[in-house]
Amino acid sequence: MEKLIITAAITGAELDKTKCPVLPITPEEQAQAAKEAVEAGASVIHLHVRDEKGKPSQNLQHFKSSVEAIRRACKGNEPIIQFSTGGAVGEKIENRIAPLTLKPDMASFNLGTINFGEEVFVNTFSDMRALNEALQKSGVIPEFEIYDAGHLDNLKKLIREGIVRAPYHCQFVLGVPGALSGEISALNYLVQHLPENSHWAVAGIGKYELPLAVHAIAMGGHVRVGLEDNIFYSKGIPAKSNAQLVERIARIAKELDRPVASVSEARKMLLS
Ligand code: KMH
Ligand code: ZN
């Protein structure tokens, strides 16, 4: 098995401090959260940013400030930074794509439309093609976000059209209310139907985070955790930080004899 890559989704776009007081929002808070997560074993930071009022933003300057702060805080051991191109539900595709001109290491690539709680997270094929063009123009490596079984078929369609290139880094985001559940059988189905030349990871939402992560570690997949996906350490107990969620995964991986990838090892695995 490959070494385990742990991604920390430190902020997200759908929560604020009223729901999660420890959510990192400012560049300084994000830098501290990223540093602690990297020290705990994360090698990728999935990044959403906020404006001065704490609202989700796709503004270049906000991304720039957070990236600079994270790089400064992690100097010498800089994690892979993966921009969100999903943004907050309802954000226009042009704004979602715009930050790619900053040429992050990676960016998320959402593979289809889903209900997202009471809202709809829209990702049409035309959105995906626009995103793909922007990714290729800026030389940014995509991570394919898969929320539903049909999203794998969407990926296969883009592969058949010859517009996306292997290897395919797939992130199964499971348990979003309105999309595929985080049952282990759902993960098994998705893994069995991956296109050739894929790597995969899983991000379980809420109560699904831990069981899916443990299965992924044992199955040879990779893991995403963080306050974007889950604000609880266990039932009714809020997580103290992103690092606390990462630490637990690193500890379980050690027990399962699955070494955790360093930042430089993850760079070789994902970016070269
Ligand atoms: N905020 C979600 C609607 C991504 O980062 O690409 C979408 C999201 C996906 O978080
Ligand atoms: Zn995200």
- Ligand 1 centroid to Cα of residue 43, in Å, is 19
Average pLDDT over residues 109-133: 98
Q: Classify the phi-psi angles of 9: left when phi > 0, otherwise alpha if psi is within -120 to 50, otherwise beta.
A: beta
pLDDT at 75: 98
Instruction: State what percent of residues in the chain have pLDDT above 70.
Output: 100
pLDDT digits (tens, 9 = 90+) for 214-239: 999 999 999 999 999 999 999 999 99
Nearest 5°: the CA angle 148, 175, 98 is: 65
For the chain, which domains are there? 6-271 (3.20.20.70)
pLDDT digits (tens, 9 = 90+) for 8-41: 999 999 999 999 999 999 999 999 999 999 999 9
The response to whether residue 86 sits with its C-beta less than 6 Å from ligand 1 reads yes
- Ligand 2 centroid to Cα of residue 154, in Å, is 19
Ligand that lies nearest to the alpha carbon of residue 84, given by its number in the listed order:
1
The response to whether residue 58 sits with its C-beta less than 6 Å from ligand 1 reads no
Identify the residue whose C-alpha is closest to ligand 1 atom 8. Answer: 86
pLDDT at 94: 98
**Residue 137: HSE in the Cβ half-sphere, 13 Å Cα cutoff:** 12
Question: What distance in Å separates the CA atoms of residue 142 and residue 109, rounded to the nearest whole number?
Answer: 6
Q: How confident is the model at residue 6 (pLDDT cuts 50, 70, 90)?
A: very high
pLDDT digits (tens, 9 = 90+) for 160-196: 999 999 999 999 999 999 999 999 999 999 999 999 9
pLDDT at 109: 98
- Ligand 1 centroid to Cα of residue 86, in Å, is 4
